[in-house]
Structure formats: structure tokens, C-alpha cells
Amino acid sequence: MPRREINAMPPLRAAKTFETFCVSVDDGGVVYSDEAGGTWFEETIVDLPAHILNGFMWAAWGVYDYSLHTGDDRAGNLWQDPVDTLLINLELFDTRYWSLYEQSGKRMNMLTSGFYHSLHIIQLRVMYQLSGKAPFLERAERWGGYSDNAINRRRAQAHKAIFKILYY
């Protein structure tokens, strides 16, 4: 049996995948432009964009990686848009004791689980490493402090339980 590289992705498939990052949600892509002109990559396509934080950062990294792999200037330029959008909107995901999973506009905010809160912290550190933008590292450290506080952890768990009762 011929040996096949596990990480090999056909260039055509990668290019087609990247194209979804150049098309609005309304036209079948994954890009949502907010009222301020911010660029969001949507993990799920729902009537009111959810802006799922971890999925947004994963998608931004995909554009970054595509840019590195292909040298595509469009991808390089597109990478900066979600960086700027996140810098402007990161505050919206901070409850002052925990991080939010998304911004769906529900009456009660959807807090992250402990796992996703820790993931957000790691992702923000990576965003800092990739972009050099200090606010990402500062927010990661702040959210890490939230995790270290037992009262914050219990408060987040209680909030999450009430959210699940109300919405699931």
C-alpha cells in the first residue's frame, strides 16, 4: 500500500476552504460584518450571529496558517481583520469574574465551562504570540486570575447551571 502523508491537504481543497472566509454568511460563507465594520468568522450560522469566541480564534488561526502556507496576500490581509475585531470586542466576553462562550444576545449570557474558560486563556496567549498585541496577553492573565479564585469558579458554575435550566 502506498504511504500517504497524514497532514497533506490537496491545494484545491485548501483554496476552496479559504474562499469561505472571503464570503459573507448571507452568501454562503462564514464572514459576518458587524455594525462597526468588524469581521467575525462564525462557527455556526444562526439568525443572530453568535460570535463563538473559541471558534472565532480557531478560524482566524486557519486564515493565518493558510497565509503562511500559501503566501496568499488576501489571507495575510484578512488575518488582521479578526485581530482588530477581537481587540475591539474582547471586553464583551469578560464578565469581571469569568469569560463568555459567545455573544448570541440571549437574556442571560452564556458563560464558558471551566474547560472553555481555560481554552480561551490559552487561545488569547497564542493570539498574543501571533499578533504581538499586548491586550491579548493582559486579558489572558486577567482571566487566569478569575480561574484562581474559588468564589469566581463557584459563581460561574452556578450561573452555568441556571443558564442550562433556562435554555436547555
DSSP codes joined into one string, 37-53: --EEE-SS--SS----H
User: Does the residue 104 lie in any domain?
Assistant: yes
Structural domain count, the chain? 1
Provide the pLDDT confidence category of residue 7 given band limits of 50, 70 and 90: low
Say whether pLDDT at 137 is over 50. Answer: yes
Provide the pLDDT confidence category of residue 64 given band limits of 50, 70 and 90: very high
User: Does the residue 2 lie in any domain?
Assistant: no
For helices 114-131 and 53-70, give the axis angle rounded to 10 degrees: 30
User: Does the residue 126 lie in any domain?
Assistant: yes
User: Does the residue 3 lie in any domain?
Assistant: no
Question: For residue 161, what are the domain limits?
Answer: 11-167
pLDDT for residue 47? 84
Q: How high is the mean pLDDT of the chain?
A: 92
User: Does the residue 101 lie in any domain?
Assistant: yes
User: Does the residue 20 lie in any domain?
Assistant: yes
Strands (E), 1-159: 31-33, 39-41
Say whether pLDDT at 4 is over 90. Answer: no
User: Does the residue 38 lie in any domain?
Assistant: yes
Strands (E), the chain: 31-33, 39-41
Distance (Å, rounded) from C-alpha 111 to C-alpha 102?
8
Strand 31-33 relative to strand 39-41: parallel, antiparallel, unpaired?
A: antiparallel
User: Does the residue 131 lie in any domain?
Assistant: yes
- Residue pLDDT, tens place only, 91-101: 999 999 999 99
Mean pLDDT, to the nearest integer, of 79-103? 97
